Structure 1
Amino acid sequence: MAEFICWESRRKDNSKYYAALHHSASVYNYDRMLAEFAKNGGNFFRTWICPWNLPIDFQDGFNNDRYQSDPAHFNPSAVRRLDHLVDLADSLDLYVMLTLGMGNFRSDNIGGVKTTDEFFAAEEAKTLYKNRLRYIVSRWGYSPHIAMWEFLNEVDNIQFNGREKPISSKAIVEWHTEMATYLKKIDPYKHIVTTSISHRDIPGLNDIEAIDINQKHIYKHTDLIPSEINAYSTKHKKPYVIGEFGYEWDWQQNFDDFAYEMELDFKRGLWYGLFSSTPILPMSWWWEYFQNRDMLPYYRGVRQLSDRMLLNGKGEFKPLALKAGRLEAYGVKCGEELYIYLYNPTNEVFSSSVEILDIIGNKKEIQSFDPLTLKYQAEELKDHQDGKILLKDLFVGSKKEKLYIIK
Structure 2
Amino acid sequence: MSKKFYLICSVMLAATSLWAQSIQSFKQLTANPKLYSKTEFDIRLTADWQNPYLQEDIALDMVMIAPSGKRIILPCYYEEGESGKPSLWKARFAPQEKGKYEYAFELSKSGSVVARSKTATFVAAVSDRNGFLHPKNNWELQFDNGKPFRGIGENIGWESRKSDDSRFFSELHQKPKYDYEYMLPALAKHGGNFFRTWVCQFNLPVDWHRNFNSTRYEESEAYYNPSAIRKTDRMFNLCDSLGLYVMLTLGPGNYNPRDGGFSPSAADFFVNPKSKARYKNRLRYFVARWGYSASLGAWEFFNEVDNVQFGNKNRPIQADSIVAWHDEMSRYLKDIDPYNHLITTSISHRDLKGMDGLPHMDFNQKHIYKNTASIPANIIRYERDFKKPYVIGEYSYEWDWSKNFDDFAAEMDSDYKRGLWYGLFSPTPILPMSWWWEYFDNRKTDEYLKRVRAISDKMLADGKGSFEAVDVKTSDADVITYGVNCNGKIFVYAYNPTSTAKTINLSFKGATGPVTQFDCESGTSRLANSTKVNLQPKSDAILITVSL
Indicate whether the TM-score tops 0.5. Answer: yes
- Structure with greater helix percent: 1
Counterpart pick for 2:468 among 318, 324, 348: 318
Shift of 1:354: 1.9
Cα distance in 1 for residues equivalent to 2:291 and 2:463: 32
Shift of 1:296: 2.3
- Structure with greater strand percent: 2
Cα distance in 2 for residues equivalent to 1:195 and 1:290: 25
Q: Is the 8 A contact 2:372 2:419 kept in 1?
A: yes
The amino acid that maps onto 1:332 is V
CA RMSD of aligned residues (A): 1.1
Shift of 1:109: 2.7
Counterpart pick for 1:278 among 424, 428, 438: 428
What SS class does the counterpart of residue 485 from structure 2 fall into?
strand
* Number of the residue aligned with 1:387: none
What SS class does the counterpart of residue 261 from structure 1 fall into?
helix
> Taking structure 1 as the reference length, what is the TM-score of the superposition?
0.95
The amino acid that maps onto 2:523 is L
Structure with bigger gyration radius: 2
Q: Is the 8 A contact 1:317 1:332 kept in 2?
A: yes
* Number of the residue aligned with 1:92: 242
Cα distance in 1 for residues equivalent to 2:161 and 2:276: 30
Q: Is the 8 A contact 2:472 2:492 kept in 1?
A: no
Shift of 1:363: 1.9
Is residue 375 of structure 1 aligned with residue 524 of structure 2? Answer: yes
Is residue 188 of structure 1 aligned with residue 313 of structure 2? Answer: no
The number of residue pairs the alignment matches comes to 393
Is residue 63 of structure 1 aligned with residue 213 of structure 2? Answer: yes
Is residue 335 of structure 1 aligned with residue 474 of structure 2? Answer: no
Q: Is the 8 A contact 2:209 2:259 kept in 1?
A: no
Q: Is the 8 A contact 2:160 2:178 kept in 1?
A: yes
Cα distance in 2 for residues equivalent to 1:196 and 1:111: 24
Q: Is the 8 A contact 1:181 1:210 kept in 2?
A: yes
Q: Is the 8 A contact 2:254 2:261 kept in 1?
A: no
* Number of the residue aligned with 1:10: 161
Counterpart pick for 2:324 among 174, 198, 206: 174
Q: Is the 8 A contact 2:153 2:187 kept in 1?
A: no
What SS class does the counterpart of residue 446 from structure 2 fall into?
coil
Residue deviations 1:232-291 (CA, integer Å, cap 9, x gap): 111101000000000000111100000000000000000000001100010000000000
* Number of the residue aligned with 1:365: 514
Cα distance in 2 for residues equivalent to 1:212 and 1:235: 15
Cα distance in 2 for residues equivalent to 1:363 and 1:351: 20
The amino acid that maps onto 2:534 is F
The amino acid that maps onto 1:77 is S
Cα distance in 2 for residues equivalent to 1:311 and 1:118: 49
Q: Is the 8 A contact 1:148 1:191 kept in 2?
A: yes
Counterpart pick for 1:353 among 505, 515, 527: 505
Q: Is the 8 A contact 1:217 1:242 kept in 2?
A: yes
Residue deviations 1:204-253 (CA, integer Å, cap 9, x gap): 00000011110000000000000111111111010000000000001111
What SS class does the counterpart of residue 353 from structure 1 fall into?
strand
Cα distance in 1 for residues equivalent to 2:325 and 2:457: 38
Deviates more, 1:240-249 or 1:111-120: 111-120
What SS class does the counterpart of residue 270 from structure 2 fall into?
helix
What SS class does the counterpart of residue 121 from structure 1 fall into?
coil
Is residue 47 of structure 1 aligned with residue 197 of structure 2? Answer: yes
* Number of the residue aligned with 2:251: 101
What SS class does the counterpart of residue 259 from structure 2 fall into?
coil
Aligned CA distance change for structure 1 residues 286 and 368 (closer, same or farther; 3 Å): same
The amino acid that maps onto 1:69 is E
Deviates more, 1:368-377 or 1:188-197: 368-377
The amino acid that maps onto 1:343 is Y
> Taking structure 2 as the reference length, what is the TM-score of the superposition?
0.71
Deviates more, 1:93-102 or 1:365-374: 365-374
What SS class does the counterpart of residue 401 from structure 1 fall into?
strand
What SS class does the counterpart of residue 445 from structure 2 fall into?
coil
Cα distance in 1 for residues equivalent to 2:259 and 2:160: 26
Any unmatched runs of 5+ in structure 1?
Answer: 382-390
Counterpart pick for 2:311 among 161, 181, 202: 161
